[in-house]
Amino acid sequence: MITCESLTYAYPNQPQPVLRDLTLSIPDGAFVLVTGASGAGKSTLLRALNGLVPHFHGGQFGGHVRVDGQSTLDTPPRQIARAVGFVFQDPEAQFVVGQVEDEIAFSLENAGITPDGMERRIDHVLRLLGIAHLRGRQVSTLSGGEAQRVAIASALALEPRHLALDEPTSQLDPLAARELLDALVGLNRRLGLTVILAEHRLERIVRAATHLLYMEANGEARLGPVRDLIGAVPLRPPVVEAALRLGWQPVPLDLDEARRGHFRVDLPPVRRADWSPPGVDLALEARDLSAGYGGRTALHGVNWAAARGEIVGLVGANGAGKSTLLKALVGLVAPSSGEVRILGAPVAGQKRHDLARRVGYVPQDPNSILFANTLREELQFTLRNHGLPGDGAALLAELEMSPHAERYPRDLSGGERQRAALAAMLTAEPPVILLDEPTRGLDYLQKRRLAGLLRRWATAGRTVVVATHDVEWLAGLAGRVTLLQAGRITADGPTGQVLLGAPGFATQIGELFGHPDYLTAESLTPDRRAPGA
């Protein structure tokens, strides 16, 4: 059992605690889904469960965390790691060697496991997670889903009784996420492994969880059976939100329950404007574009365009070419053939500074573009670099980041760092905005606010292109979606038609009603019009 008794914690040089007087008990064999607002302390709590807080991070620690009777404060983290395995949000952050087998062996060597014992454990976890075929692979060649499974294997090799995971599906396409979560459910049910999983996209896993732990913004928390809490917390999966809006009882947790409930609702048709591919007033254009990295072609002869004022979503499996297309559009990847044009001018030959004034690009990893001592300085650097007045305060307020203006950006939570990167790159108000997985680490409410901000910018004539696996969010934002598969465009058109026609990319509401006009819970309100209407 894991218990927290009056747990209070504040990071170094931060006056306000992230966790306040937290008391809870997680029973053995539970599957606990941890959710809450961005910055509420979810990652901090997980790190407290295996001793990284406070042993690695320092800060002010009060109260007790006990794992199977051991106090994390009095027990070295390397010993606690044998009871609580930990998997970071970004698996590459915990890889230390080059080959998969060696990566799994590394933690075993540190724990003093004998060579025979190491061989047995490595074989066991590879088979358990269905990745025996990856044994000799270099970790640098793994897909996102493969990397997450290897990270889990490394944690499980120590044979812990509990496993804590920090948003393990945030970088995975829907199919890879489903496969990973199915593997975790299997470990929980077959082995009795306690799973504590922080996740913003509740629809992916809520049905399999036994308990919901909702982290309040004030540092407090509520823990209880999923069905008892899911309707009472403000962050809810789309099917639950739809059920509450439509008065369905009992409230279904997922699509299967909603279908078995035989719920009915009369949905009036949405008035949608005619859609046609962009042909005039183009902001972005790729002509016969091929591009890649290190001798591997990631895009093959792509022809694609986006008009001024348009919001376009890019979807596809991991490795489909979404990020490569964004990087080619902003000039970070040189085409092997073809051409890219921004606002009518070829990207080739333009200076990086000039391109950055026209195009704001926010990559997947916010740390890669955050380097100043404070968030305010990040924004001021961008403005000075472009010779623009102001201090970016208005944008910080829109993104609800004003309270963090004087903080070191890399000390922020994952969702806060994502918003910090958005503020830093977009404060110059470029006419073209390219975002790669911008909702990573954001809760439902923050995603809704970000969508509202992007819609306002598009209404003002700015072009927004978003590459994302978060189809639930994208469905309420984009009027058009482009589907990439193996570096080629296989579908391009109205959001509902593309998502419903692409296996694995339909939203929960879209799957439930099978109608391209109804993709989100919000669209079920009669006076709401669909994106692009």
Q: Answer yes or no: are the C-beta atoms of 229 and 214 closer than 8 Å.
A: yes
- For the chain, the structural domain boundaries read 2-236, 237-266, 282-524
The pLDDT value given to residue 245: 87
Q: Highest mean pLDDT: which of 31-40, 77-86, 265-274, 456-465?
A: 456-465
* Mean pLDDT computed over 488-508: 94
Phi, psi at 380, each rounded to 5°: -65, -35
The tokens of 48 are what? 């407290």
Report how far residue 288's alpha carbon sits from residue 517's, in angstroms, rounded to the nearest whole number.
Answer: 32
Report how far residue 9's alpha carbon sits from residue 61's, in angstroms, rounded to the nearest whole number.
Answer: 5
How many C-beta atoms surround the C-beta of residue 39 within 10 A? Answer: 24
pLDDT at 515 over 80: yes
Q: Are strands 296-307 and 282-293 parallel, antiparallel or unpaired?
A: antiparallel
pLDDT over 70, % of the chain: 96
Q: Alpha-carbon dihedral of residues 186, 187, 191, 193, nearest 10 degrees?
A: -130
Q: Which helix (H) or strand (E) holds 212?
A: strand 211-215
The pLDDT value given to residue 275: 63
Q: Answer yes or no: are the C-beta atoms of 49 and 89 closer than 8 Å.
A: no
Calculate the average pLDDT of the chain. Answer: 89
- 219-257 pLDDT, tens digit per residue, is 778 999 999 999 888 888 999 999 988 888 889 998 889
Q: First vs last Cα of the chain: how many Å apart?
A: 52
Which residues is 61 bridged to in the sheet? 9
* Mean pLDDT computed over 72-100: 87
pLDDT over 90, % of the chain: 59
pLDDT at 531 over 50: no
- Which are the contacts of 245, defined by CB distance < 8 A and separation ≥ 6? 521, 524, 525
Burial of 406 (0-12, 13-18, 19+ CB in 10 A): exposed
Report how far residue 516's alpha carbon sits from residue 498's, in angstroms, rounded to the nearest whole number.
Answer: 9
The pLDDT value given to residue 527: 44
Which candidate, 421, 490, 436, places its Cα nearest to that of 467? 436
Distances (CA, A) of 58 to 3, 6, 154, 274, 364: 21, 18, 25, 58, 28
Report how far residue 59's alpha carbon sits from residue 433's, in angstroms, rounded to the nearest whole number.
Answer: 38
Cα 134 off chain centre by: 25
pLDDT at 272 over 60: no
Q: How confident is the model at residue 14 (pLDDT cuts 50, 70, 90)?
A: confident
If DSSP states are collapsed to H, E and C, what string results for 229-247? HCCCCCCCCHHHHHHHHHC
Q: Alpha-carbon dihedral of residues 222, 227, 233, 238, nearest 10 degrees?
A: 140
Strand, coil or helix: what is 485?
Answer: strand
- 276-288 pLDDT, tens digit per residue, is 677 778 999 999 9
Distances (CA, A) of 400 to 36, 315, 450: 16, 27, 10
**Which tops the pLDDT comparison, 485 or 77?**
485
* Mean pLDDT computed over 348-356: 85
Topology at the third CATH level for domain 2-236: Rossmann fold (3.40.50)
**Which tops the pLDDT comparison, 275 or 321?**
321
Level-2 CATH architecture, domain 282-524: 3-Layer(aba) Sandwich (3.40)
Q: Which helix (H) or strand (E) holds 31?
A: strand 31-36
- 378-426 pLDDT, tens digit per residue, is 999 999 988 888 888 988 998 889 999 999 998 888 788 888 999 998 8
* Mean pLDDT computed over 197-212: 90
Using left for φ > 0, alpha for ψ between -120 and 50, and beta otherwise, residue 167 falls in left
pLDDT at 90 over 80: no
The pLDDT value given to residue 377: 93
Q: Answer yes or no: are the C-beta atoms of 69 and 2 closer than 8 Å.
A: no
Q: How confident is the model at residue 478 (pLDDT cuts 50, 70, 90)?
A: very high
Tell me what percent of the chain is helix, strand and coil, each rounded to the nearest 5: 35, 25, 40
- 147-193 pLDDT, tens digit per residue, is 888 999 999 999 999 999 998 888 788 888 888 888 899 999 998 99
CATH topology of 2-236 equal to that of 282-524?
yes
Strand, coil or helix: what is 43?
Answer: helix
∠ CA 316-451-364, rounded to 5°: 45
